[in-house]
Amino acid sequence: MRIVSFYLFILEYLFCATIGGIVVKYILRRLLMLLPVMIGVIFLVFFIISLTPGDAASMILGDGATEETIRELRIEMGFNDPLIIQYGRYMADLLKGDMGTSYSTGRSVAGEIGQRFPNTFKLTVTAIILSILISIPIGVVSATKQYSIFDNIGMIVALIGISMPSFWTGLILIIAFSLKLGWFPSGGMRGIMSLILPAFTLAIASTASITRTTRSSMLEVIRQDYINTAKAKGVSKGKVIRKHALKNALIPAITVIGLEFGVLLGGAVLTETVFSWPGIGRLMVESIQRKDTPMVLGCVIVFALSFSIVNLVIDILYAYIDPRIKANYS
Amino acid sequence: MNNKVLAIHNLKVRYLTEDGSVEAVNGIDISVDKRKTLGLVGETGAGKTTTALSILRLIPDPPGEILSGNIELDGIDLMSITEKEMEKIRGDLVSMIFQDPMTALNPVINIGEQISEAISIHQHVTPDEAKKKAKEMLELVGIPGARWAEYPHQFSGGMKQRVIIAIALSCSPKLLIADEPTTALDVTIQAQVLELMKELKEKMDMSMLMITHDLGVVAEVCDDVAIMYAGRIIEQGSLKEIFKSTKHPYTEGLFNSVPNIDDRKSELKPIRGLMSDPYNLPVGCAFCDRCDYALEKCKTEKPEKIYFSETHFAECHLYKENIDFQLNSGKN
Amino acid sequence: MSENTEFVKTEQLLKTKKRSQIVDVWRRLRRSNTAVIGLILIFIFLCMAIFAPVIANYEDDALKMNVRERLQSPGIGHWFGTDELGRDIFARIVYGTRISLFVGIISVSIALTLGGTLGAIAGYYGGRIDNIIMRVLDVLLAIPTILLAITIVAALGASILNLMIAVGVSNIPGFARVVRAAVLSVKDQEFIEAAKAIGARDHTIILKHVLPNSMAPIIVFATLKVATAIMATASLSFIGLGIQPPTPEWGSMLAGGRAYIRDNMYIVLYPGLAIVLTVLSLNLIGDGLRDALDPKLK
């Protein structure tokens, strides 16, 4: 019964946060700050990739190409131009929504990514939601029943959870639930059954991390004076936790949720490889192996953009929960 | 006794920590008469806050526990009721104001809500009525009711303390426990808040337990005074008795510690030494090694209560044989 | 004359205070059961790394392919079994320890020195310098750490050196942030003003006064980051971007054995456990250090 009201509580926050009550100026300002960061990111990745030894043109044309054709291709693709010019050209194309063409398949990078992105989105969002739903209640209960069996076991399990690499966890889960028990498919994307194992794999590490953070911030909040004030008013223990402590404890927890999403995106690369999930993580790995530079560039940009947007949402949530922040921007 | 709003008898509270056990409160008896204010005076670590928390049964239960004693609040035996019943009493029959106003308010809930919460819990009113009452309380403590939707960080220290007072008084408690309510404030604000508290006490016909280490505050606000040291009440009496005929050497030491503004040339007279290690309280009188009048038996025998009048007693060996013993300051 | 001895005595007192501070932290660390387990575990791994040649022969056990002995289950001759090329898994794990610990520590050292310097400068000088550095870090931080490392290795090519550079560089912004926060918390305290008042130069102040007093969170962070660096190494090797076969590395062992997990699950179980235990032990130590260094818990 209490658990249900818990979840309703969290849903209420998320719902209200999206409806409004937050100053539009704040959102606009954060969005504006996103732009230079993305420009910087694209330049940075462009620069890193430009450090690749080897010649792109000869790679595209393959072994049989002549010196002549390689030279011509280089001029055509603009590889001889200074880096800044190439970067400028890329940005201009980007504004039109064009991320270039794949070196290996010849298809549009943006198209390819556009096709695969929803799959990664499905996977990561499921994983983060799973994490939040599990970790916050456990973190809160661990804190309120500190030193109990539940707390001790919970914290040990959480520690192990953050120590397990996602690709190993995935393999073990496949062995146990797919090969031995046959409950789930071991790879591919076909229906909800194939989503469960990879989502769980991804969720384990972030659940562990968010649980620990929720617990430690809850522990700190419980010791605050205003909790005593609430108790002295006659507020019941349950209500003290739900109404007075939780909101304050969530503030640092939310930051960690944002960071964990970033880790999740990195983990998606590994998990998609293990489960042969057709998302942009696996696309990126394949493209690296095939030396398909525009595809790699495109994937990293999309990852960085997703991460930044999630952090933006987190910042907005932050401002909604903590009135001190709201005040700074109104 | 029906003229007492609070009667504590032989309260013992202990904290069990990794480093040992601390006897925070060692068998105290105090009582507060209806519509009177009792000042509970002592240094940090004397056990004052623990006493206050015991009344509200808010001692944190892993390390702390109430070993024994009775606490009777307006006729109710607080040791025998359930937690649920206790929740009904907190904020309604008895309220507490904590020491540091800067951290005593929840930063993410607006102050109007923090006040009306207390009202909604204890009184059966609609949310609108609770909000109206909250605004009234704000006006009562000198804050414009229109500010009810603001958050704690938008108020200064003194105003935060007023909000806290508003919360505490919102259900007209019979007893208000104030734990060093002005210590964290500037001197000028201190005076304002004390004035406010005196005014409200009259208006709401309330009793107060004022915990403080500041004798000036005691002189301003209290009718009776209890001096606490190392978990025991070592002297208690009416305001006049304590100030004009001080009996216990510690109390004398406290008065002597206040610099004399008229005699700028005289040396300051602090009480030498430090309070005894709470993990290792001495066998005899706890004040013994800091006391200028110490006798041999002070080291080994705990002093008993010696009464000088119906309301005035002190725990000190000096008066056992000779009840007219005079302390050096000649104040008694 | 007597002034001189007073000075010497004070200096000695300060030195013993420093030493006893470290002893104090050690004692508090020992109190935590989990931290002690972590220390024991990491000690075991360190021994494995250092004494690897004593435990198993590199050429014969870890490298030599022996098709006749491939995919043998764990048993007397091969404690953890053999992999798909007939190599002894236990020996490969032992030698893999060297790589993991080496790369982990070196890459964190790179991140700590470069990132720490950036963070210290940003925190200490504040103003425009701080702003510029933080903007640059924001860009780096917009890319999830692993992905940044993957991109760097993808560009530079897979080798142990590039792996260390990649993992190191991708952790620079994290360290810069932590060191900057630590410096900020200390720099406004009065003993810094005092040092400035007697004319100490900036770099002296930073090195001798600011950093030693803000070490605690940095040490905890560094310990935890060695753990993530080890995980990153394994992850990169798993997707073929790290240590190249036949050099034994836990992540690439998992990649190699992946096709055989149906009937030979030990082939991924043991290398994975090695990763888990190493990372776990560092996390335990990091947690223990955090509690031991926390002044509030004193």
Q: What's the ipTM?
A: 0.86
**Interval B147-179: pLDDT, tens:** 999 999 999 988 999 999 999 999 999 999 999
Whether A80 has a pLDDT exceeding 50, the answer reads yes
Is any Cβ of chain A less than 8 angstroms from the Cβ of C217? no
Find the mean pLDDT for residues C111-137: 91
Answer yes or no: is B113 within a domain: no
Q: What is the predicted pLDDT for the residue at A293?
A: 84
Is any Cβ of chain C less than 8 angstroms from the Cβ of A36? yes
Give which of C66, C101, C104 is closest to C82, Cα–Cα: C66
Classify residue A245 by its DSSP letter.
Answer: I
Q: Judge: A38–C142 Cβ closer than 8 Å, yes or no.
A: yes
Answer yes or no: is B46 within a domain: yes
Number of domains forming the structure of chain B: 1
- Number of A/B CB contacts below 8 angstroms equals 79
Using pLDDT thresholds of 50, 70 and 90, give the confidence band for residue B218. very high
Give which of B36, B41, B73, B38 is closest to B54, Cα–Cα: B73
Burial class of residue C185 (count of CB atoms within 10 Å of its CB; 0-12, 13-18, 19+):
middle
Answer yes or no: is B269 within a domain: yes
Find the mean pLDDT for residues C174-195: 83
**Interval C97-123: pLDDT, tens:** 999 999 999 999 999 999 999 998 898
Sign for the pseudo-dihedral over CA of B181, B187, B189, B194: positive
> How many percent of chain A have pLDDT more than 90?
41
Is any Cβ of chain A less than 8 angstroms from the Cβ of C132? no
- Using a CB-CB cut-off of 8 Å, the residues of chain B touching A228 are 58, 98, 104
Output b/e per residue, A271-287; b: 16+ Cβ within 10 A: bbbbbebbbbbbbbbbb
**A33 vs C163 pLDDT, higher one:** C163
Contact of B45 with B275, CB cutoff 8 Å: yes
Find the mean pLDDT for residues A193-199: 91
Whether C214 has a pLDDT exceeding 90, the answer reads no
Q: Judge: B107–A231 Cβ closer than 8 Å, yes or no.
A: no
Whether B328 has a pLDDT exceeding 70, the answer reads yes
Whether A149 has a pLDDT exceeding 60, the answer reads yes
* Nearest CB to A51 within list C156, C235, C238: C156
Which chains does B contact via 3+ CB–CB distances below 8 A?
A
Q: For residue A101, what are its two tokens?
A: 């063409």
**Interval A201-254: pLDDT, tens:** 999 989 999 999 999 999 999 989 999 999 999 999 899 999 999 999 998 899
Q: Judge: A171–C136 Cβ closer than 8 Å, yes or no.
A: no
Whether A8 has a pLDDT exceeding 60, the answer reads yes
* Nearest CB to A232 within list B56, B100, B122: B56
- DSSP string covering B162-194, please? HHHHHHHHTT--SEEEEESTTTTS-HHHHHHHH
Whether B332 has a pLDDT exceeding 50, the answer reads no
Q: Judge: C254–A37 Cβ closer than 8 Å, yes or no.
A: no
Distance from CA of B109 to the nearest CA of A (A): 8
pTM: 0.84
Question: Which of A92-96, A284-288, B33-37, B189-193 bottoms out in mean pLDDT, i.e. has the lowest?
Answer: A92-96
Q: Which fold has domain C2-62+73-297?
A: MetI-like fold (1.10.3720)
Q: What is the predicted pLDDT for the residue at B299?
A: 86
Q: What is the predicted pLDDT for the residue at C294?
A: 73
Question: Which of A66-75, A160-169, C204-213 bottoms out in mean pLDDT, i.e. has the lowest?
Answer: C204-213
Is any Cβ of chain B less than 8 angstroms from the Cβ of A74? no
Q: Which of B18, B54, B108, B175 to mutate to test the interface with A (most CBs of A within 10 A)?
A: B108
Q: What is the predicted pLDDT for the residue at C13?
A: 67
Q: What is the predicted pLDDT for the residue at A318?
A: 82
Sheet holding B175-179, edge to edge: B94-97, B175-179, B207-212, B37-41, B224-229, B232-238, B313-315, B305-307
Whether A7 has a pLDDT exceeding 90, the answer reads no
Distance from CA of B118 to the nearest CA of A (A): 6
Whether A330 has a pLDDT exceeding 50, the answer reads no
**Interval B227-250: pLDDT, tens:** 999 889 999 999 999 999 888 989
Distance from CA of C16 to the nearest CA of A (A): 34
Whether C196 has a pLDDT exceeding 80, the answer reads no
Find the mean pLDDT for residues A257-286: 92
Answer yes or no: is B145 within a domain: no
Answer yes or no: is B151 within a domain: no
Whether A23 has a pLDDT exceeding 70, the answer reads no
Is any Cβ of chain A less than 8 angstroms from the Cβ of C279? yes
Is any Cβ of chain A less than 8 angstroms from the Cβ of B167? yes
Using pLDDT thresholds of 50, 70 and 90, give the confidence band for residue A129. very high
**Interval C59-92: pLDDT, tens:** 776 677 777 777 878 777 788 888 888 888 888 8
Whether A312 has a pLDDT exceeding 80, the answer reads yes
Answer yes or no: is B143 within a domain: no
Answer yes or no: is B252 within a domain: yes
Find the mean pLDDT for residues A171-181: 89
Q: Judge: B121–A235 Cβ closer than 8 Å, yes or no.
A: yes
Q: What is the predicted pLDDT for the residue at A203?
A: 94
Is any Cβ of chain B less than 8 angstroms from the Cβ of A324? yes
**Interval B71-124: pLDDT, tens:** 999 889 999 999 999 999 999 999 999 888 999 999 999 999 999 999 999 998
Answer yes or no: is B165 within a domain: no
Q: What is the predicted pLDDT for the residue at A157?
A: 93
Classify residue A186 by its DSSP letter.
Answer: S
Q: B69 lies in which domain range?
A: 4-106+172-320
- Using a CB-CB cut-off of 8 Å, the residues of chain C touching A172 are 268-269, 272
Classify residue B90 by its DSSP letter.
Answer: B
Q: What is the 3-state secondary structure (H, E, C) of B205-245?
A: CCEEEEEECCHHHHHHHCCEEEEEECCEEEEEEEHHHHHHC
Find the mean pLDDT for residues C196-219: 77
Find the mean pLDDT for residues C208-222: 81
Distances (CA, A) of A47 to A40, A87, B318: 10, 9, 87
Whether A1 has a pLDDT exceeding 50, the answer reads no
CATH of the domain at B12: 3.40.50.300
Find the mean pLDDT for residues B206-213: 92
Whether A12 has a pLDDT exceeding 70, the answer reads no
Most confidently modeled of A8-12, A64-68, B203-207, C173-177? C173-177
User: Where in A61-216 does DSSP place strands (E)?
Assistant: none
Is any Cβ of chain B less than 8 angstroms from the Cβ of A217? no
Whether B280 has a pLDDT exceeding 50, the answer reads yes
**A86 vs A15 pLDDT, higher one:** A86
